[in-house]
Amino acid sequence: MNAIIRREPLNSLLDNLFSDYFVRGIWPATVRSGEVPATVRARMDVVDKGDRYLVTVDLPGVRKEDIRIAVEGAQVSIAAESRTQNDAQNGEQVLHSERYSASYARSFELPQEVTEDGAEAKFEDGVLHLTLPKKAQTSARQIRVQ
């Protein structure tokens, strides 16, 4: 025998509002509509090679002209933007067009200050490779009392 369950309108409204509360995650819009948040935290690795740091950052869909790197002492900031645009060419009629835009940002502090002398930044296949030489440690000097 099939039972008919009646719900009050308020209960139904609350059920719909909170039904996916634990499924949504941090950005509810991502799960429901497939959109990416405005700023994405870029994935990266930092390796200490003794005299320098090697930083590898994944920046998919970014052009090298859209990458900004700032180094101040031991603080490193990386920002990039990725945009795609579908333009009709040769008199084509566009029936549907979607664009994708994302900003990547990452800021971190290294254990030791780095220097700009000898620093390198290479970007290929959506991956940024930074080589940041460590700044020479200045040793404490003893001053003789006369």
55: which strand partners? 46, 130
Domain residue limits, the chain: 37-85+98-133
Q: Strand, helix or coil at 8?
A: coil
pLDDT at 8: 54
Token pair belonging to 35: 């959109």
pLDDT tens digits along 105-114: 889 999 999 9
CA pair distance 92, 59, nearest whole angstrom: 31
Q: Are 130 and 119 in contact (CB under 8 A)?
A: yes
pLDDT tens digits along 85-109: 766 667 777 777 777 778 888 899 9
Its CATH architecture, for the domain 37-85+98-133, is Sandwich (2.60)
Token pair belonging to 59: 């920046």
pLDDT at 72: 92
